[in-house]
Amino acid sequence: MAGLIDGARKVVRLCARIRPGEKVAVVADTGAVSLAVAEALAAAALEVTPEVVTTVMTPREVDGDEPPAVVAAAIAAADVALLPVSYSISHSSAVHGALERGTRVLALPAMVNPEMLVRGGPEADFEAQAPVCRTVAERLTAAASASLRTPAGTDCTFDLRGRTGNAHDCVLDRPGKFSAFPWIEANIAPVDGKVEGRLVFDGSIPNLRLGGLLRSPVVCTVEGGRIVRVEGGPEAEMIRKVWASLGDAAVYNIAQLAIGLNPSILTLTGRWTDHGAFGTVHIGIGTSANLGGVTRAVAHFDGMMFRPTLTLDQTVLLEDGELKL
């Protein structure tokens, strides 16, 4: 427990920037790891402020699902919300509304063991890496278009005109800011309907809870900003069935272009920390409304890629996974 509380203190004091007197909502679900992490976070928050409330819900059915109304109300009423849940609610309308009201939100989704609060990604110097993350977000904002290619066969273009990059640097230093711990990423929602090409996910799709990397690539054909065909092995069949079962055409929307920037997450593993793996790219699929887009879906999935080359207008930002700043 000693190591766990130390990790929780880093989250509370350094990342969430919780101050005396602030109202804090810790949202957990009935998963054992979720409860253990929530207990540590609440204890660390109580060292700073007496205004800490923990709510426990049943795990959501899919990432991006809505929490119960009473949980949504707690998030909206808080100065800071910490979300150590088994299935992510980061892309829910509840979180979006709370952010607009000024709640600072730090998501900690899908931790498979409490050590994920302490080892690996959490060991990063978040304050030192924040300027890098913000610079990349600024580059995304300034770009009119992006081109993404990988050795596995990704070849895709994104219209970024009028969209603003997001610096999810794990430092909640202003009202209404969102980040997810412990990954550090810069991302942008491309113009809805304006993504074309081929996406090959050869790393991981953490939403599938496979416990590891993809055994075979998942190949997605994108037309008019939507996935129109999914090809590959067992994982491709799995994700086809999941998306079809949701009964919502918006789940095929290309919602996000993101760059992992946590230097303490060295490679993809199949866990949710993959979002922050340094020098990787992931593509968000489904809801874009929480990132600056206009699409609202019943889910949000992410697919990860190794060794991306990302070009913004005519300038290379990533070359074979190496950041060029």
- What's the pLDDT tens digit per position in 62-95? 898 999 999 999 999 999 999 999 999 999 999 9
Average pLDDT over residues 304-309: 97
Q: Both 155 and 106 in a single domain?
A: no
Looking at the fold, whether 170 and 103 belong to one and the same domain comes out as no
Number of domains in the chain: 2
Q: Domain check: are 29 and 111 in the same one? A: yes
Given 99, 119, 139, which residue is the final one in a domain? Answer: 119
Judge if 48 and 186 occupy the same domain: no
Segments forming the whole domain that contains residue 275: 124-175+182-323
Q: Is residue 2's pLDDT more than 90?
A: no
d(CA 216, CA 219): 9
Looking at the fold, whether 86 and 199 belong to one and the same domain comes out as no
Q: Is the same domain home to 229 and 267?
A: yes
Same-domain check for residues 138 and 259: yes
What confidence tens digit (pLDDT) does each residue in 56-65 have?
Answer: 999 998 898 9
Give pLDDT tens digits for 148-179.
999 999 999 999 999 999 999 999 999 999 99
Distance CA 258, CA 39 (A): 31
190 and 318: one domain? Answer: yes
Domain limit, last residue, from 75, 103, 119: 119
Within this chain, do residues 169 and 285 fall inside the same structural domain, yes or no? yes
Query: What percent of the chain clears pLDDT 70, i.e. is strictly above it?
Result: 99
Residue type present at position 144:
A
